[in-house]
């Protein structure tokens, strides 16, 4: 008997396991559409021009690496607030928003979950069905019971708005509802502004705790446009959470840059909330790392770099959209007669292709095209060089 002799092997991570399988695949035409990472037209992870310029700026004035404050770089936190809530937000003027630097979107969700466990220990958590797979695990680990609200309508290829509203309406007051602010992962289907208003109606009426996960701000229509959801909540909901990730929008996956924002009733409440959130951070990792936040802050604080970043984000967004159209056209060229135009209705990095698990397995084993068993493919990994092959491969498994 050893301390660990009863430890069972955990199941492999579905998506990372797929990448391992992809690496081992000898097929020279193989394409990895499994992992949610943006690749450029050359099929490589981009280093953004604006980020490279910020790297040079920082390298020209090397700094000692002291500890940051528990809640992170103050100028960075202020910039996150402005991106998320809009510079003119009355909430910011009133000091109602607490924003702390976090280790990517995941870190922001985890700080929020741990803090919520402290203030609402008996609340249940509702996530969308389906959702980013870590939502369930992360909130469960934080001590919550996690259930699902209806979201994807496989028949209609869209959001089951009536089902979603009914499930939220049936939730007990205080239930924590995790909502994808934009670019829903994995389906690619978002709510319209009118549908968001109906969700907000229920959140207010049922006194639910909304947790907006915004991992893709700027990938649907633009920074401002995608932030409109947060502003709609800000107008009507007295307290809610927003997690921000810059992994995708700055192509800074490995630097772990994100933020957690908590809207409070007033500045006094915000100060008390911040003091408790700092304890959550302090007892987890003490304070966040310096470099990624310094890069983002350098880009956002320099008008030229910021403008270039906005352009680059637009280029990524437009390229993904072009690849959606290319995929729909490629499928038609490859002889698919059924209507696949829903692929261009979806937004963000992913497409719920509508393929079954069996078809996804065939796609992988016979063609070396890797997506998840749920039928999710990462459209941001398509390019002019592989979209024809991917289309032909999907056509072959569809019949």
> Could you say which of 79, 114, 213, 226 is catalytic?
213
Q: Provide the terminal-to-terminal Cα distance of the chain, rounded to the nearest Å.
A: 54
Report the alpha-carbon distance of residue 225 to residue 217 in Å, rounded.
9
Residues 6+ apart with CB under 8 A from 119: none
- 261 forms part of the interface with ligand PMP (CB under 6 A): no
Residue in 39, 220, 247, 261 binding ligand PMP, rule: CB under 6 A: 247
Long-range contacts of 134-137 (CB under 8 A, 24+ apart): 134/106, 134/109, 135/109, 135/178, 135/213
> Could you say which of 132, 157, 226, 309 is catalytic?
132
- 185 forms part of the interface with ligand PMP (CB under 6 A): yes
Q: Residue 213 catalytic?
A: yes
Q: Residue 248 catalytic?
A: yes
Find the part of the chain contacting ligand PMP (CB under 6 A) among 1-9, 101-109, 326-334, 361-369. 101-109
Reply yes or no: is the peptide bond before residue 186 cis, omega within 30 of 0: yes
Give the residue with the Cβ less far from ligand PMP, 215 or 296: 215
Residue in 32, 50, 245, 359 binding ligand PMP, rule: CB under 6 A: 245
- 213 forms part of the interface with ligand PMP (CB under 6 A): yes
Residue in 105, 130, 368, 375 binding ligand PMP, rule: CB under 6 A: 105
User: Which residues in the 126-155 window bind ligand PMP by CB under 6 A?
Assistant: 132
Report the alpha-carbon distance of residue 354 to residue 340 in Å, rounded.
9
- 211 forms part of the interface with ligand PMP (CB under 6 A): no
Residues 6+ apart with CB under 8 A from 205: 169
Give the residue with the Cβ less far from ligand PMP, 104 or 330: 104
Q: What is the DSSP string of 192-227?
A: -HHHHHHHHHHHHHTT-EEEEEES-TTSSS-HHHHH
Q: How far is CA 105 from CA 238, 357, 388, 397, in A?
A: 23, 28, 33, 35
- 259 forms part of the interface with ligand PMP (CB under 6 A): no
Give just the sign of the alpha carbon dihedral 313, 330, 32, 154.
positive
3-state secondary structure (DSSP) of residue 156? coil
User: Which residues in the 13-52 window bind ligand PMP by CB under 6 A?
Assistant: 36
Q: Shortest distance, CB of residue 132 to ligand PMP, whole angstroms?
A: 4
Binding mask 263-292 for ligand PMP (x = CB under 6 A): ------------------------------
Give the residue with the Cβ less far from ligand PMP, 168 or 215: 215
> Could you say which of 81, 110, 157, 248 is catalytic?
248
Report the alpha-carbon distance of residue 370 to residue 362 in Å, rounded.
10
Residues in the chain: 399
Residues binding ligand PMP (CB under 6 A)? 36, 104-106, 132, 180, 185, 213, 215, 245, 247, 258
Residues identified as active-site: 132, 213, 248
């Amino acid at each position: 008997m050893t301390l660990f002799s009863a430890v069972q092997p955990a199941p492999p991570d579905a998506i990372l396991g797929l990448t391992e399988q992809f690496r081992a695949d000898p097929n020279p035409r193989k394409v990895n559409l499994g992992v949610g990472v943006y690749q450029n037209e050359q099929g490589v992870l981009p280093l953004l021009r604006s980020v490279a310029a910020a790297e040079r700026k920082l390298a020209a004035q090397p700094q000692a690496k002291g500890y940051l404050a528990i809640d992170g770089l103050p100028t960075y936190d202020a910039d996150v607030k402005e991106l998320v809530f809009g510079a003119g937000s009355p909430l910011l003027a009133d000091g109602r928003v607490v924003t702390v630097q976090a280790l990517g979107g995941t870190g922001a969700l985890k700080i929020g979950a741990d803090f919520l466990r402290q203030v609402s220990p008996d609340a249940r958590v509702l996530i969308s069905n389906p959702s980013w797979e870590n939502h369930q695990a992360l909130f469960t680990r934080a001590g919550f019971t996690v259930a699902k609200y209806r979201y994807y309508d496989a028949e209609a290829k869209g959001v089951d708005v009536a089902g979603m509203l009914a499930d939220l309406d049936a939730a007990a007051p205080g239930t924590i509802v995790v909502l994808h602010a934009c670019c829903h992962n994995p389906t690619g289907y978002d709510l319209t502004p009118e549908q968001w208003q109906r969700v907000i109606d229920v959140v207010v009426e049922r006194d639910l705790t909304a947790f907006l996960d915004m991992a893709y701000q700027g990938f649907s229509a633009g920074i401002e446009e995608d932030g409109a959801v947060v502003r709609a909540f800000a107008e009507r909901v007295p307290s809610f959470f927003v997690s921000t990730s810059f992994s995708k929008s700055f192509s800074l996956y490995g630097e772990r840059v994100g933020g957690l924002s908590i809207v409070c009733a007033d500045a006094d409440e915000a100060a008390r909330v911040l003091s408790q959130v700092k304890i959550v951070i302090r007892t987890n990792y003490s304070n966040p790392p310096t470099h990624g936040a310094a890069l983002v802050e350098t880009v956002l604080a320099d008008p030229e770099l910021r403008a270039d970043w906005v352009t680059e984000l637009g280029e990524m967004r437009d390229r993904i959209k072009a690849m959606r159209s290319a995929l729909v056209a490629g499928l038609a060229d490859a002889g698919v007669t059924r209507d696949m135009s829903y692929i261009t209705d979806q937004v963000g990095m992913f497409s719920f292709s509508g393929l079954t698990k069996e078809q996804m397995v065939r796609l992988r084993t016979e063609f070396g095209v890797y997506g998840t068993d749920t039928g999710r493919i990462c459209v941001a990994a398509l390019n002019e060089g592989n979209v024809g092959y991917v289309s032909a491969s999907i056509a072959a498994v569809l019949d």
